[in-house]
């Protein structure tokens, strides 16, 4: 079984985790599609939107698709821009914040992580 579609065909869901502001997520590939190992998500941040500053047990890999902002990781703030790749090991405190134009990124996580 395979899947092929434009990411915008997947419904954007509001991220409701405490500490998130003006962020949506599209679960473009998940275990519902038969993916046994990884889920692919597209996050879209409105201008100045952000994820909570948090950590979790699993790793994730991020690819910045467009616009810019900054990553805060283990208390250090770093600028991010289109084309940047980010690896965040499990147990690492982090968040992403969009710049004045917003931010769109792709994130891979192990299946079963929310």
CA distance 71 to 68: 10
Mean pLDDT confidence for 5-14:
97
Q: Give how far Cα 5 sits from Cα of 2, 8, 21, 30, 111, Å.
A: 10, 8, 28, 14, 20
pLDDT for 111 equals 86
Q: Tell me the sheet residues that pair with 85.
A: 63
Confidence of residue 114 (pLDDT cuts 50, 70, 90): low
pLDDT recorded at residue 42:
98
pLDDT in tens, 25-52: 999 999 999 999 999 999 999 999 999 9
Average pLDDT of span 8-30 = 96
Residue 102's φ and ψ, nearest 5 degrees, are 100, -170
Report pLDDT digits (tens) over 50-92: 999 999 898 989 999 999 999 999 899 999 999 999 999 999 9
Say how many residues make up the chain: 114
State the sign of the Cα–Cα–Cα–Cα dihedral 84, 65, 90, 96: positive
Taken in order of first residue, the domains within the chain and their CATH numbers are 28-106 (2.60.120.10)
**69, 45 contact by CB (below 8 A):** yes
């Amino acid at each position: 079984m395979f899947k092929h579609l434009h990411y915008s065909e997947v419904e954007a869901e509001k991220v409701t985790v405490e500490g998130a502001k003006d962020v949506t997520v599209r679960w473009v590939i998940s275990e519902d599609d038969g993916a046994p190992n990884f889920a692919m998500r597209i996050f879209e941040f409105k201008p100045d939107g952000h994820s909570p500053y948090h950590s979790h047990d699993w790793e994730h890999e991020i690819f910045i698709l467009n616009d810019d902002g900054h990553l805060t990781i283990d208390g250090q703030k770093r600028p991010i821009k289109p084309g940047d790749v980010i690896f965040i090991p499990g147990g690492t405190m982090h968040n992403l914040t969009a710049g004045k134009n917003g931010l769109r990124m792709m994130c891979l996580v192990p299946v079963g992580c929310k």
